[in-house]
Amino acid sequence: MQPHAGHRAVADDRSSHLAEDAYGRCLIPFDRREGLSLAQAAKIAGKSVDTVRLWCLNHELGRRVGGGSWVVSRVALAMFLDDDRHALEAYLAGGRTHAAVAPYFNRLGLDGLLRDWARSS
């Protein structure tokens, strides 16, 4: 069975913790100020909710938080819509203060998150 293109670590004999790692970087640490519903993200992107859900699966733009509903990262969505692969890769690697990532938080009015995370670390 071929793994889905967006499921980098989901495959035959690989352990399940690798699958979690592939999705675990989006919205971690979680703060609801960064999140959008699928419907909100679809409106911003001018696409359907189903399309945005597929983007979340294929490009790690969001995740199910606490096993519940989908939450889309405002930051990851903006990077994806800007076709800024470098920034998205840095974001997904956890680099919230990376030079390519921090400007997205600032642009979206989420610079307070960066300050909060800096204080707590």
Dist CA 117 CA 63 (whole Å):
20
Dist CA 57 CA 7 (whole Å):
7
Dist CA 88 CA 116 (whole Å):
21
At residue 19 the predicted structure's pLDDT band, cuts being 50, 70 and 90, is: very low
Q: Of the ranges 18-27, 71-80, 106-115, which one carries the lowest mean pLDDT score? A: 18-27
Q: Of the ranges 8-17, 46-55, 58-67, which one carries the lowest mean pLDDT score? A: 8-17
Residues near 111 by beta carbon (within 8 Å), at least 6 away in sequence? 102, 105
Whether a cis peptide bond, with omega within 30° of 0, leads into 29 is: yes
Q: What is the pTM of this model?
A: 0.80
At residue 24 the predicted structure's pLDDT band, cuts being 50, 70 and 90, is: low
